[in-house]
Structure formats: structure tokens, C-alpha cells
Amino acid sequence: MADKLRGRKIAFLATDMVEQVELTRPLEAVRSAGAEAELISLEPGQIQAFNHYDKADRFPVDRAVEDVDADDYDGLVLPGGVGNPDTMRQSGHAVSFVRAFFERGKPVAAICHAPWLLVEADVVHGRRLTSYPSVRTDVRNAGGDWVDEEVVVDEGLVTSRQPDDLDAFCSKLVEEFAEGYHEGQRRSVHAGAAAR
């Protein structure tokens, strides 16, 4: 597994109140597989991670989302935590960045509350995915097929429900990032637009 992602560059999109373990475990997984990883956020500096409702560590931001392009990355990880994706989905730059990965057929992995960003980017219509249970109605209202499973893989989209699912989530995201391009990602963008 050490070389499975060698030469790949993976973006991690997060801001304050990110669930720390949902950031650090996938970071460790892609780096252990040989990938370069960058933490992208709303602005330069540092972000404050949380362990549920308690402050945890701070992490340095590599680049601001308004200064990046999906073409520069091979995959995208969206960690959860309640406040992180709720803040992120209010940023037009963040939503456009997420949508761009789907438009280009690149793999995306989202855990916990992070599928809120997928809903906002209008890329869940016709897709099978999971999330934290409180996001279920949002996913279904956006045309997604929500299921209660540890990890769900749907043509380049990897989703999981919560930190307890991280082993399966990390394994599958490395696998999908190694596969690279997925035509199903591109089709979901067009399906969402057609459904409107």
C-alpha cells in the first residue's frame, strides 16, 4: 500500500470545527500510500479542529480555497464535524471547488456531515451514499439514495457515517483515489442539472 498513491496529490477541504480524527486518519492513510496532501481552507493561517464539542489541535492551512484549482489535484477528501461543512457550504469558492472534482470525474471522499457540501454542490442526484444520520433528509431531498452503511462507494464517490467507520472509509478512499478517473462522477453533475 506504500506506493499505491505515489505521484498523486490529494486536497483536504476543511475549516474550523472539523472533527479532528476525520481529518487526521484520512491524511495518514493517503500519505502512507505515497500521496502528497494539502489542507485547503477558507483563508490562510490555521484551522481549529474539535473532538466532538471540545477544542482539539490546530492545523496549518496550505492554501486558501479561492487560490486553488481542482485540476491541480487527483482527489478530494471532505472531513466532517458539524460546524466545518456547515460553514464551508456557505462559501461559493468551496462549493465550486467541490463541484469541479465531479465535473472532471475525479474521486471524492466525504464522511459524517460533509455530504452537506455535496448537496450544496448539486452532485448527489441519483447517487448512492451515506452520511451522519441527521444529514439523511438533506441527501434524499437533493435526489440522493441515502443508505445506513459503514462505507458506500459509488463510482468514485466514497462516503461514511462517522468516526467509527474510519477504517473502512480510509481503505476505500485510497482504493478509489488509486483508480483515478470515474465517468460516474461526471454523470452525477449532469443528472443534478437535469433534475432541476
Q: How far is residue 124's CA from residue 72's CA, in Å, rounded to a whole number?
A: 23
Contact (Cβ atoms closer than 8 angstroms) between residue 173 and residue 111:
no
At 182 the pLDDT is 87
Three cell numbers written together for 186: 461526471
Contact (Cβ atoms closer than 8 angstroms) between residue 31 and residue 9:
no
Residues 145-154 as b/e (b if ≥16 CB within 10 A, e otherwise) read ebeeeebbbb
- Catalytic member of 112, 125, 170, 182: 112
Three cell numbers written together for 60: 496549518
At 2 the pLDDT is 75
Helix (H), strand (E) counts: the chain:
7, 12
At 105 the pLDDT is 95
- Catalytic member of 113, 125, 170, 182: 113
Provide the 3-class DSSP secondary structure of residue 71.
Answer: helix
From the CA atom positions of the chain, what is the Rg in Å?
A: 15
Q: How far is residue 192's CA from residue 11's CA, in Å, rounded to a whole number?
A: 24
At 196 the pLDDT is 58
Provide the 3-class DSSP secondary structure of residue 88.
Answer: helix
At 192 the pLDDT is 61
At 59 the pLDDT is 98
Q: Which residue numbers in the chain have pLDDT < 70?
A: 1, 190-196
At 155 the pLDDT is 94
Q: Which amino acid makes up residue 18?
A: V
- In which residue are the cell numbers 483536504 written? 12
Q: Which residues pair with 111 in a beta bridge?
A: 160
Q: Give yes or no: 52 in active site.
A: no
Q: Give yes or no: 170 in active site.
A: no
Q: What are phi and psi of 187, to 5 degrees?
A: -65, -35
At 188 the pLDDT is 73
